[in-house]
Amino acid sequence: MKRDVNGMTEHELLAELVLQGRRAERERTIKYCIAAIIVIALVILGAVYIPRIVAPLQQIGESLEQIQRELDKVDQFLGDLGEDSAEKFRQTVENFSDVSERLEEFMDMLKNSGLDKLQSTLEGFNDTMGGILNFFRR
Calculate mean pLDDT across residues 59-67. Answer: 85
> Between 21 and 97, where is the model more confident?
21
Quote the percentage of the chain above a pLDDT of 90. 20
The rounded distance, in Å, linking the Cα atoms of 9 and 82 is 107
Q: In which band, very low, low, confident or very high, does the pLDDT at 113 lie, cut at 50, 70 and 90?
A: low
Longest dimension (CA), the chain: 107
Residue 67 has pLDDT above 80, yes or no: yes
The rounded distance, in Å, linking the Cα atoms of 64 and 102 is 11
Calculate mean pLDDT across residues 47-76. Answer: 83
- Quick one: which of 64, 69, 70, 68 has its CA closest to 92? 70
> What residue type is 91 in one-letter code?
Q
Pair 31, 136: CB distance under 8 Å: yes
> Between 37 and 56, where is the model more confident?
37
Calculate mean pLDDT across residues 1-8. Answer: 71
129-136: long-range contacts, CB 8 A cutoff, minimum separation 24 = 129/38, 132/34, 136/27, 136/31
Calculate mean pLDDT across residues 18-43. Answer: 94
Q: In which band, very low, low, confident or very high, does the pLDDT at 73 lie, cut at 50, 70 and 90?
A: confident
The rounded distance, in Å, linking the Cα atoms of 41 and 128 is 12
